[in-house]
Structures are given as structure tokens and as C-alpha cells.
């Protein structure tokens, strides 16, 4: 195992040597030399001995040695749309979720201002107790209408929406079958539920069928969970196939529309519209408010019984402060703009298809992307991804690297988020620079590995 490569293509020995150069002597434990109860080693009371900390330090050491700036936690000067300003410099921006170009729209700002004046900055309590406000109910009613479901519930966090919903509804007697490319929040929700968990290769319904045939009858209830538009890969789930399987094997089906609301379907209603499905074909519709809807939080749409359970038992809702009313009002306004201005969805889809087709024409690997808002440039090793991101930033283009452990080692990529406000010229410029700079990034990565 000593030569196993896990980070930036480096062996364990390489990592140890590199850390020694940049780490210096570790600070002594304040408990050094003192006896501890139960023979607990002082090292176990230091956070810098955790493997996760070591991994972070390896990545920082590699970046320092190569002169790479920190690609994450970049502070933007102001509004981030098709362009962004950082430290006074303007960049062509492919790193934000503003799919329909509504962030900063005057109508949304006015909706937020009016709600803020009337309800203040905070809900000031859990909605179960004293945090309920009219904007919450108005947004939920509009989302339920969008999906054609009986009811909807809005959570203050998108991540907590998935974790709380799945862990609230399922238990150790149940089974959860999730797509291997599912978001971290879906996987953690399955883990927290205590249910048996089965992961099937992404969008491989034959593999899922085999798992269902083997395991379904051993459990009381079962859930199949997937994303509508995969946020890492830009691929659309085979929802009709999943609907058929859930009916055949007697399962619930949950679809996460974090990236498909506003981006997929003729008017942005997501995969239900894209495939011409009835809302009732899916038992649990989930989405986030932080992307197309320019707010923060998540929602679940479905039957009245489902929402009633979550309103009184989902921990991420019951024990959390309610969403700020001004954010609920903002997301409602964004939803109304999406529905009244279908040109935004059409323009976004046109831009996504343009970026994908140009990238493929330049010989770039876009994986399984379908040209809907999220388009990865697959690069393989993490170091090449970080280097290319830095080279692009040096030439005025923002696109962040997704590396291990965010994706499997060997599956690193730059992830491009397309907006309805990007121009054809901006897209062409970005693809030209990727194609031109990629050989430099690969060469530098090889030199470092050597």
C-alpha cells in the first residue's frame, strides 16, 4: 500500500517528503509529558493529527511549491453574474449558479426590500413556534403549483433538506438505492436514516434493476433517489426508466432538482416537463433556492401527508430557525420571473449547447454532459485541474477545479456553470483559452510528477 497514489497522483512517500519541507516541526501538545486517564495518547487530542488535516496540508504544500494561488474561498468584490470582480480586476465568470441571470435583478431587490421592511431580517424562531410568515407560505404554494403537487415545504438549507427528509422518512427496516453520482446530502441522509444503502453506477438502470431484484424483498420500504440534472457531470437522469422500476418493485422515488429547476424543460420546470411526466410519477420532488431562484435553502414538494410528516418531524426544519422572510420573497419573485420570461430558459439552453458543442469541436472531454447549464471539462488528475484553473484565471476566466475528494481520484475536472447572460463571444473566448492552455497545464503536471 505504500506506493498507492491518492492525492495529485503522488505516492505516500512523496507526500511525506513534501509535507516535511513545508510543515516544519509540529507544535508540541499542551498535554505533552502529562499522564492522562485511560491511557489516551496526547496526539488524539490534537486536530492536526487527523488524516483529513494532513490531506489539506498536502494540497496546500503542492500548490505552494508550484506557485499556485488558492483556487477556493476567493472573495468577490460585488455582484457575481456572467462577469465578476476580484481585487479590482474583472473576470469572465463561469463559477456561479446564476443560471437565469436574475441575481441582482431590480424586481428581486425590491421584493427583498419590501419584505425586509415589513418582517425584518430574520424569522427569529423556528417556524414551528413563532417563525411563520406569509412569504414562506406564498413561496410554498407557488412551488406546489409549479409541480402540481398537494403541498410543499421550504427549509433554510438545501443540504439539510435532503439529510432531514431522508433520515426522517426511512429507518433500519428500509433500503435506499442511490445513484453513485448523487449529492453528498443525499448520501448522508441515507446514512443517517440507518437504512440499508445500495449505490448503483450512475444512470445504469440495468445495474439498479439487478440490485432491486436481489435486495428489495428483504426490506419493508425502499427509496430510489437520484438527481434530475447531475451537478457534477451535467447528465440528465433517466427519470422515465426510474419511474418504471419504482412501480415494478414497489419503491418511493425521490428526484433532486437542485440544478434542473430553471435549466431543463421548455419553461424551466425541470425533468418532469422535459420528459412529459405527471408530477405524481415522482413521490418526493426536492430542489434548492440558491441557484435559479437566487435565494438560499431547499424545498420538498409532494403529497399532503409527506409534507405533514416533515413539518412536525424533520429535524432540519423543526429545530432550525425559519428562512428569512426576505429570502422567501426573493425566491418567489425569481420563480415568477422564470415563468413569465421563458426567453431566459431558452437563452440558457442555447448557451449551454454552444459551450458543449464548441468544447467537443476543440477535442475537449465533457464526459456525459448534455449541455444544460453544467458542463465539466474532464481532466483526470487533480493537479492538472488546479493548474488549468490557475492559468485560466491568469487570463481572466473563472472556472473552479473539482478534485478529490469532491470526485473520485482520476475524475478531476473544471466545472463550468453557464448563464442566460453569457454572450456567444464570452463562451467562444473561454473555450479557446481552455484549448490553448490545457497542454501547458498537462506539461507542468508531468514535470512535477517527474
Query: Distance (Å, rounded) from C-alpha 189 to C-alpha 130?
Result: 27
Centre a 10 Å sphere on the Cβ of residue 77 and count the other Cβ atoms it contains. 12
| Average pLDDT of span 287-301 | 97
| Average pLDDT of span 97-101 | 96
| Average pLDDT of span 415-437 | 98
User: Which CATH number characterizes residue 268's domain?
Assistant: 3.40.640.10
Q: What is the pTM of this model?
A: 0.90
Cα 125 from chain centre: 27
Q: How high is the pLDDT of residue 17? A: 66
Same-domain pairing of 221 and 315 = yes
User: Which CATH number characterizes residue 423's domain?
Assistant: 3.90.1150.10
Pick the residue with more confidence: 95 or 80?
95
Domain boundary among 340, 373, 404: 340
**pLDDT of 197 above 60:** yes
| Average pLDDT of span 212-224 | 98
Q: Which residues contact 269 (CB under 8 A, 6 or more apart)?
A: 146, 147, 261
Judge whether 152 and 301 are in contact, CB under 8 Å. yes
**pLDDT of 11 above 80:** no
Same-domain pairing of 283 and 297 = yes
Say if 52 falls within a structural domain.
Answer: no
Mean pLDDT over the full length of the chain: 92
Q: How high is the pLDDT of residue 377? A: 98
Q: How confident is the model at residue 400 (pLDDT cuts 50, 70, 90)?
A: very high
Say if 47 falls within a structural domain.
Answer: no
Say if 61 falls within a structural domain.
Answer: no
**pLDDT of 38 above 60:** yes
Say if 209 falls within a structural domain.
Answer: yes
Q: How high is the pLDDT of residue 98? A: 96
Same-domain pairing of 306 and 413 = no
Same-domain pairing of 230 and 250 = yes
Same-domain pairing of 349 and 440 = yes
Domain boundary among 340, 361, 382: 340
Query: Distance (Å, rounded) from C-alpha 86 to C-alpha 84?
Result: 7
Domain count, the chain: 2
Q: How high is the pLDDT of residue 1? A: 38
Q: How high is the pLDDT of residue 22? A: 55
Say if 2 falls within a structural domain.
Answer: no
Say if 9 falls within a structural domain.
Answer: no
Q: How high is the pLDDT of residue 448? A: 80
Q: What percent of the chain has pLDDT over 70?
A: 92
| Average pLDDT of span 421-429 | 98
Say if 255 falls within a structural domain.
Answer: yes
- By DSSP bridging, strand 151-155 and strand 298-302 are antiparallel
| Average pLDDT of span 115-140 | 96
Count of alpha carbons within 13 Å of 23, Cβ hemisphere only? 18
Q: How confident is the model at residue 71 (pLDDT cuts 50, 70, 90)?
A: confident
| Average pLDDT of span 26-37 | 52
Q: Which domain holds residue 211?
A: 106-340
Pick the residue with more confidence: 57 or 168?
168
User: How many degrees, rounded to 5, is the angle at CA 262 between CA 161 and CA 350?
Assistant: 145
**pLDDT of 202 above 70:** yes
Q: How high is the pLDDT of residue 36? A: 54
**pLDDT of 244 above 50:** yes
Question: Beta partners for 378?
Answer: 413
**pLDDT of 319 above 80:** yes
Domain boundary among 319, 340, 361: 340
Same-domain pairing of 334 and 382 = no
**pLDDT of 123 above 90:** yes
Same-domain pairing of 368 and 312 = no
Q: How high is the pLDDT of residue 12? A: 66
Same-domain pairing of 183 and 332 = yes
SS (H, E, C) 27-70: CCCCCCCCCCHHHCCHHHHCHHHCHHHHHHHHHHHHHHHHCCCC
Picking from 216-225, 290-299, 407-416, which range would have the lowest pLDDT averaged per residue? 407-416
Q: How high is the pLDDT of residue 16? A: 66
What does the pLDDT look like over 257-268, one tens digit per residue?
Answer: 999 999 999 999
Place of cell 425502499: 222
Same-domain pairing of 330 and 413 = no
**pLDDT of 31 above 90:** no
Same-domain pairing of 88 and 142 = no
Same-domain pairing of 116 and 150 = yes
Q: How high is the pLDDT of residue 40? A: 86
Say if 263 falls within a structural domain.
Answer: yes
Same-domain pairing of 423 and 367 = yes
Amino acid at each position: 500500500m505504500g506506493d498507492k497514489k491518492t492525492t495529485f497522483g503522488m505516492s505516500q512517500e512523496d507526500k511525506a517528503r513534501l509535507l516535511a519541507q513545508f510543515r516544519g516541526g509540529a507544535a508540541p501538545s499542551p498535554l505533552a509529558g502529562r499522564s492522562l486517564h485511560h491511557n489516551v495518547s496526547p496526539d488524539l487530542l490534537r486536530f492536526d493529527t487527523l488524516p483529513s488535516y494532513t490531506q489539506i496540508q498536502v494540497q496546500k504544500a503542492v500548490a505552494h511549491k508550484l506557485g499556485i494561488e488558492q483556487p477556493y474561498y476567493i472573495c468577490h468584490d460585488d455582484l457575481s453574474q456572467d462577469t465578476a470582480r476580484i481585487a479590482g480586476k474583472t473576470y469572465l465568470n463561469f463559477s456561479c449558479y446564476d443560471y437565469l441571470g436574475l441575481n441582482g435583478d431590480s424586481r428581486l431587490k425590491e421584493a427583498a426590500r419590501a419584505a425586509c421592511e415589513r418582517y425584518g431580517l430574520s424569522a427569529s424562531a423556528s417556524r414551528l413556534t413563532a417563525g411563520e410568515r406569509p412569504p414562506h407560505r406564498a413561496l410554498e404554494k407557488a412551488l406546489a403549483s409549479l409541480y402540481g403537487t398537494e403541498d410543499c415545504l421550504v427549509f433554510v438549507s438545501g443540504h439539510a433538506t435532503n439529510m432531514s427528509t431522508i433520515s426522517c422518512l426511512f429507518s433500519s427496516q428500509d433500503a435506499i438505492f442511490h445513484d453513485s453520482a448523487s449529492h453528498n446530502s443525499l448520501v448522508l441522509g441515507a446514512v443517517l436514516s440507518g437504512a440499508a444503502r445500495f449505490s448503483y453506477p450512475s444512470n445504469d438502470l440495468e445495474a439498479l434493476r439487478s440490485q432491486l431484484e436481489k435486495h428489495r424483498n428483504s426490506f419493508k420500504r425502499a427509496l430510489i433517489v437520484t438527481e434530475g440534472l447531475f451537478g457534477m457531470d451535467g447528465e440528465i437522469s433517466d427519470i422515465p426508466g426510474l419511474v418504471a422500476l419504482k412501480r415494478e418493485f414497489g419503491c418511493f422515488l425521490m428526484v433532486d432538482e437542485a440544478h434542473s429547476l430553471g435549466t431543463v424543460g421548455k419553461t424551466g420546470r425541470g425533468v418532469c416537463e422535459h420528459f412529459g411526466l405527471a408530477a405524481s410519477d415522482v413521490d418526493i420532488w426536492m430542489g434548492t433556492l440558491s441557484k435559479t431562484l437566487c435565494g438560499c435553502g431547499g424545498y420538498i414538494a409532494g403529497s399532503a401527508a409527506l409534507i405533514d410528516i416533515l413539518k412536525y418531524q424533520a429535524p432540519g426544519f423543526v429545530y432550525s430557525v425559519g428562512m428569512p422572510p426576505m429570502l422567501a420573497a426573493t425566491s418567489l419573485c425569481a420563480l415568477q420571473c422564470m415563468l413569465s420570461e421563458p426567453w431566459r430558459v431558452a437563452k440558457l439552453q442555447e448557451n449551454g449547447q454552444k459551450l458543449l458543442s464548441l468544447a467537443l469541436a476543440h477535442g475537449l472531454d465533457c464526459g456525459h454532459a448534455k449541455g444544460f447549464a453544467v458542463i465539466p471539462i474532464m481532466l483526470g488528475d487533480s493537479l492538472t485541474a488546479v493548474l488549468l484553473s490557475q492559468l485560466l484565471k491568469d487570463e481572466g476566466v473563472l472556472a473552479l477545479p473539482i478534485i478529490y475528494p469532491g470526485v473520485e481520484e482520476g475524475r478531476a475536472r473544471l466545472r463550468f456553470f453557464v448563464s442566460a447572460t453569457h454572450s456567444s463571444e464570452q463562451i467562444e473566448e473561454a473555450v479557446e483559452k481552455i484549448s490553448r492552455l490545457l497542454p501547458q497545464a498537462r506539461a507542468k503536471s508531468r514535470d512535477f510528477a517527474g
